Amino acid sequence: MDILYNYQHYKFRYNIYVIQNKKYLVKKIPILNKKKLLEISEILNILKLIKHYSFLSIYNWKLLDNSIYIISDYKKCSLLSKYIYSNKKISEKNIIHIIYQLLSCLKRLHNENICIGNINIHNILLIDEKYFNIILYNYDYVQIYKDKSFTKINNKIEYCAPEIFNYSYTNKCDIWSVGCILYILLTKSNPFLGFNTLQIINNIQHKKFNIPLERLDINFNILHLLYKSFELDHKKRINANTAVKLNLFKFYC
């Protein structure tokens, strides 16, 4: 395999390789022990079977020199976060399109009992700036839900659902993270920011956020999804299967 280009400076932790004249994204994950190997291999074998237009599909994976190399399909792209914070306004229509793609992808993953666990604005790739087609990537903290709550905090604090801080959560944490992304797309700021970690956690646990005055004209259906995503009780929080059927997305039905 010949390395074509390295994206490390771009905070996109993959390398581009050429394999039989075709480009692929390759990510290296060190394996510390046999238990870790079994866990990751089980997850990757499931992810290999998942095909969705907004999910970075896995072509294959290999174990070499105590590391797993994940080989994914190559797509020319940029980070969605870079686009958002470059002071470019995104229309409500395109915001709805981005969120629908995320929820549709989560519907597919959650139906396979997969929890991403670290969805944030920096793990979304923009592959088309004209139509705002996106891809969810990063398999670092993917877990399989087996009638047992997860316990590890894997995401950036400001994207974490409140139940995560009780070290007992399910794949509903992904929906909360989508709510954070929706808020950021609308306002270019995170809903639960604070002066320190404790204040951020407190804001999340008490659902302390405000809609800026300049965005009070937001589509009611968008606000409806936002509040449904930020339901403190994860058992009452909307799931991906229900979310994609909301009036907000009737164009896609």
The string of pLDDT tens digits covering residues 76-86 is: 888 899 999 88
Say if residues 169 and 150 touch (Cβ distance below 8 Å): yes
Residues 177 and 116 in one domain: yes
Residues 122 and 186 in one domain: yes
Containing structural domain, residue 114: 78-252
Alpha-carbon separation of residue 101 from 119, 185, 235 (angstroms): 13, 14, 23
pLDDT of residue 12: 45
How big is the CA angle at 76 (ends 75 and 77), to the nearest 5 degrees? 105
Q: Which residues of the chain have pLDDT under 70?
A: 1-14, 146-151, 213-214, 216, 253
Residues 65 and 112 in one domain: no
pLDDT of residue 11: 40
- The overall pTM is greater than 0.85: yes
Residues 51 and 173 in one domain: no
pLDDT of residue 88: 74
CB-based contacts of 197, cutoff 8 Å, min separation 6: 157
Residues 55 and 138 in one domain: no
* Listed residue (158, 151, 197, 198) closest to 179, CA to CA: 158
Q: Which of 73, 99, 124 lies at the terminal end of a domain, its last residue?
A: 73
CB-based contacts of 10, cutoff 8 Å, min separation 6: 79
pLDDT of residue 178: 97
pLDDT of residue 37: 86
Q: What is the DSSP letter of 17?
A: E
Number of folded domains that form the chain: 2
Residues 199 and 232 in one domain: yes
Residues 42 and 83 in one domain: no
The amino acid at residue 188 is K
pLDDT of residue 147: 60
